[in-house]
Chains A and B, each alone.
Chain A
């Protein structure tokens, strides 16, 4: 054996890289978000709270896509499928709750938030397990196409499900019940969503720095290398795909609660495209990129639609400019906030 300087080893192990600035920034950011409803009411525009809720929910969905797209390098073009499934779980359970007839004859409907949300996460996770197990047999362009195809299959399945409204979707008359919270109040609902998002993003931040996250990032960079050090990449990719599907299912279930409505539009390929755009303009493989991307896309959409009917005509060029002039997405403009691809 060659000589190894023990002292040298000891000093590099710990490498205390905890970035107190990042933690402080996160706390300030959360406090600002928490103060937002007060701000919105103060300037006399409470509808902004609804906007903030939608941005937060889409941020969760986009972040979940970012796990496989940005960190894992799997370009899934069917991520809205899990978003829609999550929504439909809430919708269908509510439907059976209201009708008083069990789903499939034995699963009683419910409007309990603490049941519908986990159910939505589990069902979308199972869907992601099945579709992912098949899709991940391919990679590259075929993977993009097959994920798109599966999502569109599910889209048409829900279009043809007349029992659940088909094309027209399903109305959820009241938001799910959680303790004694007044869920009809948007401010209360916003705080609930914010709390969920904070927990989600903290979990996400830990996940991407974990041994699993390290392997996932390795697979993005060179699958061949990962195999050559003894890693069976398929299992890791599939696990990431399922975790991502569960995240999208959570977001879909929250969205169904917020808008009190689910429809096949939630699974449409354009929705998958929206999620991809959020990730890309925010910054792929960054922690907060999807949040920024969701804020920009939803914000622009809301602003432009209030201004003109032909809003997409203006949205397109704006997105192109953003992508062209911010290599690595908008987060790269605030590079201190989140280090790329960690």
Chain B
């Protein structure tokens, strides 16, 4: 264990006068579930988008799996094993749930410059896609067009697609947002099972979920990391309570 799987060093991102990411450093160790919490507008999604390569940082570096990936485009990072899910679901609404996952499996297995085979008859890809759907509990909804899935199911599908890229690290952007209580509990169970297999950086507002799942927690306020530690450390941390949990007198 020489280097953490993900090492973000002094990342800065400005939008005009707003500093969304302010000299932010963060390390995620292989195998842990690292939660990222913070009030609205703390810059959590902006931070995730920079790690995923959708936004380009103004300065600072991102190292993943021993390699600097700061200048890599999103597809290259994904192929390296860095996958994300979206807070606001980004799915292919005209395709079925199975197609959505199968296309990710297909992309992972190499280029798709194949013009005359029927993509939906490639049994190996279809069955692998189905295992990912089963994993997130969507097995019996495989043939349903995405636009007809419920919000909760779309959230589950987001996760299945991310899994289909066989990531070494998952960036999950609020997978619980908008879910009902039962769905939430199921998602927590699923993440509990997943964290034994893949490193996860989890952005989440649901504190119960975070405290139940996270090995370590980092707190982001105004684009800055103000604390990192175990669940107990964070609960006890005075600065966090002031800034985030709304206690204290500041």
Interface residues, chain A, CB within 8 Å of chain B? 1-2, 4-5, 8-10, 12-15, 17, 203, 206-207, 209-215, 217-218, 221-222, 224-232, 236, 239, 341
In the complex, 23 of the A-B residue pairs with CB atoms within 8 angstroms, ordered by the A residue number, are A2-B193, A8-B134, A13-B130, A206-B115, A209-B119, A210-B116, A210-B117, A211-B106, A211-B112, A211-B117, A214-B103, A217-B95, A218-B95, A221-B91, A221-B94, A222-B91, A222-B92, A225-B91, A226-B103, A227-B73, A229-B104, A229-B161, A232-B75
Interface presence of B225 (CB below 8 A): no
Could you say which residues of chain A place their CB within 8 Å of the CB of B84?
228
- In the bound assembly, the distance between CA atoms of A228 and B170 in angstroms comes to 12
Is B151 an interface position by the 8 A CB rule? Answer: no
Find A211's partner among B94, B104, B108, B119 (CB 8 Å cutoff): B119
- With beta carbons under 8 angstroms apart, the residue of B79, B93, B113, B139 that contacts A212 is B113
Mark contacts of B65-102 with chain A using CB atoms, 8 A cut-off: 1 yes-contact digit, 0 otherwise. Answer: 00000000111001100011010001111110011001
Q: Does B208 contact A (CB under 8 A)?
A: no
> Is the CB–CB distance between A230 and B120 below 8 Å?
no
Inter-chain contacts of A207 with B (CB < 8 A): 115-116
Q: Which residues of B contact A14 (CB under 8 A)?
A: 121, 123
Contacts A9-B130, A12-B130, A230-B165; A217 near B94 (Cβ below 8 A): yes
Q: Please determine whether A13 and B123 come into contact, CB atoms closer than 8 angstroms.
A: yes
The CA-CA distance from A17 to B121 in the complex, in Å, is: 9
Chain A residue contacts of B114, Cβ below 8 A: 210-212
Tell whether, in the assembled complex, residue A222 and residue B90 are in contact, meaning their CB atoms are under 8 Å apart.
yes
Q: Does A228 contact B117, Cβ atoms closer than 8 Å?
A: no
Chain B residues near A (Cβ < 8 Å): 52, 54, 73-75, 78-79, 83-84, 86, 90-95, 98-99, 102-104, 106-108, 112-123, 126-127, 130-131, 134-135, 139, 142-143, 161, 164-165, 193
Pairs A-B, 5 closest by C-beta atoms: A230-B78, A229-B104, A221-B92, A211-B112, A13-B123
A229: which of B98, B103, B116, B127 is its contact (CB, 8 Å)? B103
Q: Once the chains are docked, how many angstroms separate the CA of A214 from the CA of B52?
A: 24
Q: How far is the CA of A191 from the CA of B83 in the complex (A)?
A: 53
B115 touches which one: A212, A224, A228 (CB < 8 A)?
A212
Taking CB atoms, residues of chain A closer than 8 Å to B107 are 215, 226, 229-231
Contact partners of B52 in chain A: CB under 8 A: 228
Interface SS of chain A: helix, strand, loop or mixed? Answer: helix
Contact B75 A230 (CB under 8 A): yes
Residues of chain B with a CB closer than 8 A to A13's CB: 123, 126-127, 130
**Alpha-carbon distance between A222 and B89 when the two chains are bound, in angstroms:** 11
* Cα distance, A215 to B116, chains bound together (Å): 13
Bound CA span A231–B78, Å: 9
Residue from A209, A215, A227, A239 within 8 A of B74 (CB atoms): A227
A12 CA / B144 CA spacing, docked (Å): 13
Cross-chain contact of B112 among A222, A224, A227, A231 (Cβ < 8 A): A231
The complex places the Cα of A91 from the Cα of B102 at a distance, in Å, of 46
Q: Within 8 Å CB of B193, what residues of A?
A: 2
Q: Is the CB of B79 within 8 A of A230?
A: yes
Asked if A214 and B106 make an inter-chain contact with CB atoms under 8 angstroms apart, the answer reads: yes
- What is the minimal beta-carbon distance from B56 to any residue of chain A, in angstroms? 14
Known: A221-B95, A229-B107. A209 touches B118 (CB 8 A): yes
Is A12 within 8 A of B90, CB to CB?
A: no
User: Closest Cβ of chain A: how far from B109's Cβ, in Å?
Assistant: 10
How far, in angstroms, from A225 to B116 measured CA to CA in the complex? Answer: 24
**Which residue on B lies nearest to A219, using beta carbons?**
B92
Residues of A within 8 A of B165 (CB): 229-230
Which B residues lie within 8 Å of A9 (CB)? 127, 130-131, 134
| B86 and A228 within 8 A (CB) | yes
Complex Cα spacing A230 to B123, Å? 21
Determine the chain A residues whose CB is within 8 A of the CB of B113 once the complex forms.
Answer: 212, 239
